[in-house]
């Protein structure tokens, strides 16, 4: 893993000498999965950064504050915590989809959710991935 920063540093030093029409990104290794990502949480196989979580929280909280929902969906809506997660903030809780790309605005919500309270304090992240029926299991860091 130590060779990757050296490769990237070498590539960056070459970018100033690149001919017109060649982008620096075309020089990067095709398999960037070797470079570790900063996952704030992982839901199933989905890695979410703190920025993605923050964006979902901000959007969900704005909808709750305005008393509205994303598009013609029902999100955010009250989350009853039937699974009994030990959240560190008090309810009532709301659930809102987390997406791998962008912020949820309606349509299919996917499997992953952020849970927050009316004060817009994050309670945790949960997913349908790996759960039976319509239940949820905790993403990393939520139990």
The set of catalytic residues is: 77, 95, 128
Determine the Cα–Cα distance for residues 29 and 27; give it in Å rounded to an integer.
Answer: 7
Q: Which residues contact 21 (CB under 8 A, 6 or more apart)?
A: none
Q: Which two tokens stand for residue 60?
A: 């969900």
Determine the Cα–Cα distance for residues 108 and 111; give it in Å rounded to an integer.
Answer: 9
């Amino acid at each position: 893993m130590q060779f990757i920063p050296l490769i990237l540093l070498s590539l960056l030093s070459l970018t100033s000498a690149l001919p017109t029409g060649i982008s620096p990104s075309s020089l990067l290794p095709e398999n960037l999965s070797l470079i570790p990502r900063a996952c704030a949480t992982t839901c199933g196989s989905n890695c979410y950064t703190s920025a993605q979580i923050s964006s979902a929280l901000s959007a969900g909280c704005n909808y709750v504050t305005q008393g509205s929902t994303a598009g013609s969906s029902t999100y955010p809506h009250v989350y009853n915590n039937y699974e009994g997660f030990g959240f560190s903030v008090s309810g009532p809780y709301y659930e809102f989809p987390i997406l791998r790309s962008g912020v949820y605005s309606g349509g299919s919500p996917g499997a992953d959710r952020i849970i927050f309270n009316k004060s817009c304090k994050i309670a945790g992240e949960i997913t349908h991935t790996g759960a039976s029926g319509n239940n949820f299991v905790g993403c990393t860091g939520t139990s």
